[in-house]
Structure formats: C-alpha cells, structure tokens
Structure 1
Amino acid sequence: MTADEVADGEVALIVTSPPYYNAPFDYPGLFSSYEEYLDLIRAFASQSRRVLGKGRICAVVTDDMLVREGNGGRGKKYPIVADTTRAFIEEGFLYRDKITWVKPAGYTRISRRSGVVLQHPYPMYFYPDNIQESILLFQNGEFDYEQLKNLSHDALESSKIDTLRLNSENWTLSVWNITNVLPMAGRVEEGVAAFPDEIPSRLIKLFTFVGETVFDPFLGSGTTLKVARELGRKGIGYEIDLELKDVIRKKLGLDYHRWTGEDYLLEEKAGARNLRKTLQTKVRQQKSVAS
C-alpha cells in the first residue's frame, strides 16, 4: 500500500479487503511466505493510522484462509483475523468491533472440505464449509463528538441514518446476512472476489457524513468508490493489478476514452502490473508439470 498522495487525516473512513493470502481464487502464490503477507498488513495499518482523521474508522473485510501447500497437501489454516487485529492494535488503533458477514448457506453446495465427513461418517472427519467473513472495525483513537456542533443542519440531516431500515434489516446486530457477489461469467466482477455493494453502503452510512472522503487502498473491482459516489461522498482508491482497470472503469461508468471528468480522475501509475490471471496461470502450469 502506497498512499503518499493522501494527506494526513484526510480520510473519514477506510473500507477495504486486502488480498486473501495466496488464495487460489484470488492471488495464488503472490506472497513468498505468510510473514511477507503480514508485512503488507502491518504497512497497511501504519498508512491507515496516518491518513485517517482522529477517531475515524478503518473497516477491513477479511477472514482466515485455508491454503493448500504442495501437491496432495491437506492445507493449512492461517489466522488472518487474529494477526490483522494484532497488527492494528500494535499500530495504536482501538479495536472497536467485529461484524460477521454471513453468506447464503446454499451457495457452496457440497465442497471437497465438507464432503469428507459424508464419505467417512465417523468422528474426526469433520471440516466445515466457510460461509462467513469478518468485518473488523478499528478506530483511530477517540472521536470528538463536540465537533459535530460545527456541522450545518443540512449536513447533519442529509447524513441521518434511516432507523427503520436499521432495525428491519438488523444492522444493529453483530451478524449481517448479506448475499455475496458470485464471480460468474458475464458479470462485471467476473473472476474477481468482490464484496457486495451493501457492505460499503452500510459502513459509509454508519461512519461518515455527506461530503467526507472514503478510501479503499485495495480497490479491486471498484465497489467502494462506486458506492461512495452514489452516497454523496468523495472517494480515493488504489489498485495494483492492471487486469482490473477495465473492471473498475465499467463499474464506475467511465467512458473508455476519457479518464478524467468533473467528479473523478483515473490514473495509471508506476508499479501497476498484471497479477491475477498471470498468477493463476502460473499455478496451473506448475501443477500440470508436477503431476
């Protein structure tokens, strides 16, 4: 994460999902070790502390990851939630809360993981399918509620939370049941592990005022910026994978030949490179050679 162009304290809210550690559906083999992955998370925490305003929130969508290492390996589960929490606390953040995002139970069907106990219906063969992710909420110190007195009546009213929807859709609970985005052919998010609009939508409404800035340093398909703009917030995003440039452009509704406009600016910077399909192809080739 390089956010040098983002000013200190400029951001009101970070909503993001860092790459899943060497996940086969995301960026397989991107990191040489788990420690290298944690270095990225620690750098992310450090930059987040700098760009966030006092008392503002960083929301990290992540989860523990099962990574199969080597051919025929059973796989190893990495405690990403715990280690991410530790990294942010050590950086000086307050651990405000954790929301569990639960996906529909039927979308996984029967996987190789849960299917083990069906093939061997005896004790010690049970491995559950994961249908949840964690939304970790870290706060950059205490928020000064006195500053809200400086906001205009219009600013407060335009940012007011719909309490009827808050209650009817159970936003107040620590478990959110939200349908996930399947990376199916023909969709803008084809082949991309994108979170649904509803996640940044809720977080932006709950933690920012109209006109404030939302930041996504691992932009992916561009969902956070799309939703931020729809809700009257400013947005800043970074994405290193050039393969996602057209996906972001389509999601934001940018004309193919025009990269600047009244309310957006899209730039390609040094360091951007092709990653997702390149890594996935490399892994498939390695498996083919090994087999």
Structure 2
Amino acid sequence: MSPEDVVSQDTKDLRIFFGDLRRMTSREVADGEVSLIVSSPPYFNAPFDYPDLFPSYEDYLGLIRSFASQSRRVLGRGRICAIVTDDMLVKEGGDSRGRKYPLVADTTRIFLDEGFLYRDKITWVKPAGYTRISRRSGVVLQHPYPMYFYPDNIQESILLFQNGEFDYGHLKDAPKKILESSKIDTVQLNKERWNLTVWNITNVLPMPGRVEEGIAAFPEEIPRRLIKLFTMVGETVFDPFAGSGTTLKVALELGRKGFGYEIDLELKDILREKLGEENLLIEEREGAKRLRKSLQTKIQRQRSVVR
C-alpha cells in the first residue's frame, strides 16, 4: 500500500475493495478495526441473484467459513456480526419442485465453530404478496391432497453473532457528546417494534429506475436499525459482500465510517452513483472479476441447449 493510499484512506469515510474476500488482509481491514458487520452473503445459486455461481453447496459453505473467519478477525471484542440470509430453494436437474438448502442452520453452525457467541435471531417478515424466493404453494392448489404442501417463503433471518463478551465500560469511557448523539430513540424503538424478534419491513424491492434495480439488495431500514442498535457515531461498519452499497450508504448517513468488500466489478459504477465520489475510495485487489454478465451468458447458453 503506497503512502498516497494511506493519506487517501484517512480522508475518506467509505472504502471499498474489489477482490475475493477469502484473500482479504489486515493491510486492508485491520484486526479488531470493525465495530459492526451488516451483510447478506450471496444466496446459494438463487435464480434472482447469482444463479450457478457455486459448483456445489459445499463450495458455498466454504465461502461462509471464510466469511466467519474474516469476521472474527476484523471485529472488535464483543461486537456484532449481523447476517441477512435464509434457506434457499434451488431447482436442480429435472426436479421441478427443487431442493431446499438449510443456509440458516449451516451458517449458524459455522459461526459457532469459529468461536462466535449466538446473540439472537430476528425474523424479517415481508409483505404477503412477496414471493420472489419461493412460489411453491400452487402445488397444493393443483393437487389438494396430503404431502403436496410447500409453503411460500415471505421471511428472511437476521442472524446476530457476537465476538466474545462486550465490555460495557467502553460506553462509560466514550466522550459524552458521542454517547448522547448515539443514544437510541426508545419511543421509535417501541412504536416501530424494534424490540421484538419479528420485524415487519415492507419496502422490500428497489423502486423501478433506482440504481439497484435487478440486484438482490435488502431495504435500507435493516442496516439503519442495526447500526443504531449496535454502534456509536464515528465507529466503523463493514459489509464483506457490499453489493450495491446499501449498508455503506446508511452508515455514512448515520455518521459512521464504512468498509466494503465486493468481488463483482460490474457493480463499481452502481456503487459510485449510489455513494458519491466525494467520500468514496475504491481499490481493486486480486480475485475481482466481472460476474453478473458472465453468469447471465452461461444461463442463456444452457437454456438454448435445452430448447
């Protein structure tokens, strides 16, 4: 890393590295530098995200293991890693019903094996008409008999893992101005039911014409709540699967710094447009690639062969 890079990083509130998370080093994100991780790993071969990205489910779990290891390294003691994920239905071969993969259970086991504490799970409930991930209930309508029931999925899990015990003396030692500006609005917390393990968030998909259109981005309300609940103003939020930059955008709006890692170079222009050039530093690392178009081309070729 050149001296110019160091100077640039000190003046930028947002930093994004394009590369393979598995190769991330402490020169990019230092040990214990991060106060909160909010991220949504790629859905395993989901048709609406990156279909056929992983050769196998075990290959996908290998990425989650690297995610857990890197998270353990960069998170401060007692701090939180929040993961938005859910079990995934993938159609394989000639099976029209598909196979359901237990991402929530496997992710939980991997993070526990890495040494994290299991803090909690929040269920994010989407509107009843949202069935992007699963449209399986029609099977029982066509065949109204036992064993034909497959429910539609309108929820995702927000898994909360903690990197050891938190020292609450850290809050007592914080400058009074920082502590007061980071105070949680308990009226809002109760009114909007943040205090429950079920969050009803309706603005699920980006509006047409938005820069994130066509990308599996979660709503800004999710990182907004998590950042307010688990960090103080001026602390650092990290998204190792930065995508279109939703977590980083909200972090900046709330007076936090943001780091991101992203493998897909095709998202660079979207990130620049969404986050702005003024506060953003982008660097490319080994392993970055153009994913989205190459996968779309692969899928089109497969479909043409089937036809």
Scaled by the length of structure 1, the TM-score of the pair is 0.93
Match of 1:190? 213
Structure 1 gap segments, 5+ residues each: 255-260
Aligned in 2, Cα 1:102/1:285: closer, same or farther, shift over 3 Å?
same
Counterpart of 1:265 in structure 2: which amino acid? Answer: L
TM-aligned CA deviation for residue 184 of structure 1: 6.0
1:196 aligned counterpart, secondary structure: coil
Match of 1:13? 36
Q: Does the CA contact (< 8 Å) of 2:242 and 2:261 recur in 1?
A: yes
* 1:286 aligned onto 2:302: yes
- Equivalences for residues 73-84 of structure 1 within 5 A: 73-84=96-107
Match of 1:138? 161
Counterpart of 2:223 in structure 1: which amino acid? Answer: P
State how far apart, in whole Å, the 2-side matches of 1:71 and 1:102 are. 31
Q: Does the CA contact (< 8 Å) of 1:185 and 1:191 recur in 2?
A: no
* 1:36 aligned onto 2:52: no
State how far apart, in whole Å, the 2-side matches of 1:71 and 1:191 are. 27
Q: Number of matched residues? A: 284
Q: Does the CA contact (< 8 Å) of 2:135 and 2:153 recur in 1?
A: no
1:106 aligned counterpart, secondary structure: coil
Counterpart of 1:196 in structure 2: which amino acid? Answer: P
Could you report, residue by residue, the CA deviation over 1:68-111 in whole angstroms, capped at 9, with x for unpaired residues? 011454211100000000000000000000000000112339x7
Q: Which residue of the other structure, out of 273, 276, 284, is the alignment partner of 2:292?
A: 276
Report 1 or 2 for greater relative contact order, CA contacts < 8 Å, sequence distance ≥ 6.
Answer: 2
* 1:3 aligned onto 2:24: yes
Aligned in 2, Cα 1:98/1:112: closer, same or farther, shift over 3 Å?
closer
Scaled by the length of structure 2, the TM-score of the pair is 0.89
TM-aligned CA deviation for residue 121 of structure 1: 1.8
Identity within the alignment, %: 77
Match of 1:63? 86
Aligned in 2, Cα 1:182/1:149: closer, same or farther, shift over 3 Å?
closer
- Equivalences for residues 174-213 of structure 1 within 5 A: 174-182=197-205, 185-213=208-236
- Equivalences for residues 138-287 of structure 1 within 5 A: 138-182=161-205, 185-254=208-277, 261=278, 263-287=279-303
Q: Does the CA contact (< 8 Å) of 2:36 and 2:227 recur in 1?
A: yes
Structure 2 gap segments, 5+ residues each: 1-20
Q: Supply the RMSD in Å over aligned alpha carbons.
A: 1.7
